[in-house]
Copies of this chain bind each other. A is one copy, B any other.
Amino acid sequence: MSNRTKQSRARLDRDRIVEAAVALVDRDGIEGLSMRKLGRELAVEAMALYHYFPSKDALIDAIVEAVVGEMGAPSEAGSWEERLRERFRSYRQLAQAHPHVFPLVGKRTVKSPEALAPVEQMLDILRGAGFTPEQALQSFRTLSSYAYGYALAEIVGFALEPSTDGTAARFDVRTVDPKRFPRMREVAPHVVACDHDTEFELGLDLILAGLAAASESRRT
Residues of chain A at the chain B interface (Cβ within 8 Å): 103, 106-113, 116, 119-120, 123-124, 127, 133-134, 136-138, 141-142, 144-150, 152-153, 156-161, 163, 169-171, 176-177, 180-181, 183-184, 186-187, 190-191, 194, 199, 202-203, 206-207, 209-211, 214
Chain B residues positioned under 8 Å from A106 (CB to CB): 149, 152-153, 156
Report the nearest B residue to A134, measured CB to CB.
Answer: B190
Partner of A146, one of B149, B171, B184: B149
CA distance A206 to B217 in the complex (A): 13
CB distance from A164 to the nearest CB of B (A): 9
Indicate which residue in B113, B123, B142, B169 contacts A187 across the interface (CB closer than 8 Å): B123
Are the C-beta atoms of B187 and A120 separated by less than 8 Å? no
Shortest Cβ distance from residue A46 to the other chain B in the assembled complex, whole angstroms? 20
Q: Known contacts being A123-B184, A142-B146, A144-B153, is A160 close to B202, with CB within 8 Å?
A: no
Contact across chains for A147 and B149 when beta carbons are under 8 A apart: yes
A108 to B152, CA, bound (A): 11
Q: Which residues of B contact A157 (CB under 8 A)?
A: 109
In the complex, are the beta carbons of A124 and B183 less than 8 A apart? yes
Least CB distance from A110 to B in Å reads 7
In the docked arrangement, what's the CA distance between A207 and B145, Å? 12
| B183:A138 contact, CB within 8 angstroms | no
A selection of 7 A-B contacts at a CB cut-off of 8 Å is A141-B150, A141-B153, A142-B150, A142-B202, A145-B146, A206-B207, A206-B211
**Chain B residues within an 8 Å CB radius of A207:** 146, 203, 206-207, 210
Is there contact, CB below 8 Å, between B137 and A191? yes
